């Protein structure tokens, strides 16, 4: 009765419909990059761009861009290129980020607080609608106009507030319990910032974020470079 909320009852289907079933994960990652670069181009007043130019701005192969986009539709104009604004809109629609996603955050520690404070999430369409923590000292307190609630209330709140995604920012040993609460509440997907793996039913996608992965990767590359240089 409330599940079917992913946007206007779609009888009208435009040209921007999925073409293929399986899309490489790497493609999704690159689409995010394309958006980033395209938005900066738009800010600078560029209206049209070729796959060649966009490719070099993104440091990828131009066929790559055309292939990536082709998974979702035909967004370009032969002999011309892509209209920047239109392409941004199309990519966002393809990714499903042309709408608002209501989120629940579990774990109001350092990181959780930082995420609540900085409103970049909202700007990108991910609105944190409720904050949870099992620490009795925190429960009842307010943060950014949001009351911190015990995770046992997650199920009610999720239904009440139309929450679809969960954000885990607990310490590692609490991550699994947080995940269980989210699953139990019928959440559709989880972003896990806690440095621990979690187990959830296979139909629920989980994205792991570790802020240090990239630093590790960088350290490795620099170390390697030193051997060669």
Q: Is 79 annotated as a binding residue?
A: no
Nearest-10 Cα torsion for 24, 26, 28, 30: -140
Within residues 33-92, the interface with DNA by CB under 7 A covers 49-52, 60-64, 66-67, 69-70, 74-82
Q: Who's near 148: CB < 8 A, 6+ residues apart? A: 108, 131, 132, 133, 138, 139, 140, 141, 142
Q: Are 127 and 102 in contact (CB under 8 A)?
A: yes
Could you say which of its own copies, DNA, none residue 223 binds, taking C-beta under 5 to 8 angstroms by partner kind?
its own copies
Other beta carbons less than 10 A from residue 18's beta carbon = 10
- Show the binding pattern over residues 6-25: x = contacts DNA (CB under 7 A), - = does not: -------------x--x-xx
Q: Is 111 annotated as a binding residue?
A: yes
Q: Is 226 annotated as a binding residue?
A: no
Could you say which of DNA, its own copies, none residue 124 binds, taking C-beta under 5 to 8 angstroms by partner kind?
its own copies
Phi, psi of 130 (to 5 degrees): -160, 145
- Determine, following the binding rule CB under 7 A, whether residue 213 of this chain makes contact with DNA: no
Q: Facing residues of 207 across strands?
A: 191
Phi, psi of 147 (to 5 degrees): -80, 135
Q: Is 45 annotated as a binding residue?
A: no
Binding site for its own copies (CB under 8 A): 2, 5-6, 8, 18, 25, 28-29, 31-33, 36-37, 39-40, 43, 57-59, 94-97, 101, 110-111, 114, 117-118, 120-121, 124, 126, 164-165, 172-173, 188-191, 195-197, 203, 205, 207-229
| Known binding-site positions for NAD(+) | 107-112
């Amino acid at each position: 009765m409330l599940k079917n909320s992913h946007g206007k009852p779609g009888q009208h289907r435009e040209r921007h419909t999925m073409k293929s079933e399986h899309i490489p994960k790497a493609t999704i990652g690159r689409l995010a990059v394309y958006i980033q670069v395209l938005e900066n181009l738009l800010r600078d007043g560029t209206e049209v761009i070729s796959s060649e130019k966009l490719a070099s701005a993104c440091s990828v192969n131009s066929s790559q861009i055309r292939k990536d986009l082709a998974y979702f539709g035909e967004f370009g104009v032969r002999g011309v290129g892509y209209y920047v604004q239109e392409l941004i809109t199309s990519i966002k629609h393809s990714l499903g980020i042309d709408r608002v996603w209501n989120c629940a955050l579990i774990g109001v520690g350092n990181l959780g607080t930082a995420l609540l404070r900085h409103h970049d999430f909202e700007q990108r369409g991910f609105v944190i609608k409720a904050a949870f923590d099992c620490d009795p000292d925190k429960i009842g307190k307010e943060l950014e106009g949001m009351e911190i609630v015990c995770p046992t209330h997650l199920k009610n709140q999720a239904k009440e507030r139309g929450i679809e995604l969960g954000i885990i920012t607990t310490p590692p040993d609490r991550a699994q319990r947080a995940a269980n609460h989210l699953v139990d509440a019928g959440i559709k997907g989880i972003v896990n910032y806690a440095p621990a793996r979690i187990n959830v039913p296979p139909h629920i996608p989980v994205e792991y974020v570790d802020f240090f992965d990239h630093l590790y990767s960088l350290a490795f590359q620099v170390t390697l470079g030193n051997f060669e240089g």
